Structure 1
Amino acid sequence: MTGTNKTSTPRLGSGRGKPRTMRQHIIRRLLVVLPASLLMVVLMKTGVLDVAADRMTFDKLAWFDDTKLVEHLRILVTHNGMTDEPGRCLVFIVNGNDPLNAQRIDVMAKHIKGCPDPDGKPQMLFTIRVDKADRELQTDHGTPGVFHPMRP
């Protein structure tokens, strides 16, 4: 019999030394989970998640669904800097009697609990004109009564 006869004992864990303790295991998990959680909170607070979800869900047919259209406009208005009001403080009033190629939606700021300047009176901000057939938006933001194309 040539060679050496080594007796090996099986190691637990990764095979690179002593097995991890429960404390080490928890710390390693936290080092992954905490930064990921903080990143998600930052993305949520900055509105990046809202914009990404809107881009994925707002399609050609959504232009004809007033609820989806209003949510799309809420994201556009708040992220394009057209108003300083938070999205939850905006009210969109859809004029249902307008034709599909020139539907008007009034954007108003409600002033209730949790919204700036709680005097109780809604404030008219601007109007958005929607051409649903051609999927175009126009607004009179900054020029009341005179409409110009709205940035997407």
Structure 2
Amino acid sequence: MSHEGIRFVSAEDQSRIEAAQKPLTRTAMTPAKVRVLITEGKGLEIDWQDGHKSAWDFKWLRNACPCATCIDERSKEGRIAGQPKAAKGDLLPMYTPPARPASAQAVGRYAIQLNWQDGHSAGIYSWEYLRRHCRCGECELAATRLTGAPN
């Protein structure tokens, strides 16, 4: 009998999964203002209708791409959203330009799509996904208290 495809989840991972699945209010997932700071090379900033403010740098966003291919790759490598690939120790580090989108556009009223300069554009970042992965100090602290690990 093969057990391929069966994955065991640690208690810490289970806590993180449960926290990520808690319901959010509509105002918590609805942006009041969205800024994609491409020219400045900074990242994405959102002011939410519930008064919360979130910001993500482009490096984190590229490493947290929510497309099926990127999720599968992260899962196989044991990485979480936003965590970069491990550097290969046997090769000299090569210069890679910083992650930066060439453009961004709204996807309906529920998401934003970033078209990366590396040619990748399959990821659609829903407002819920972004809010659940808020990088602000308050949310990072809450995630750490809840799961013992940062968001």
Both structures adopt the same fold (TM-score exceeding 0.5) = no
Pick 1 or 2: higher relative contact order, CA cutoff 8 A, min separation 6. 2
Structure with the higher fraction of residues in helix conformation:
1
Structure number with the higher strand fraction is 2
TM-score, normalised with respect to structure 1: 0.30
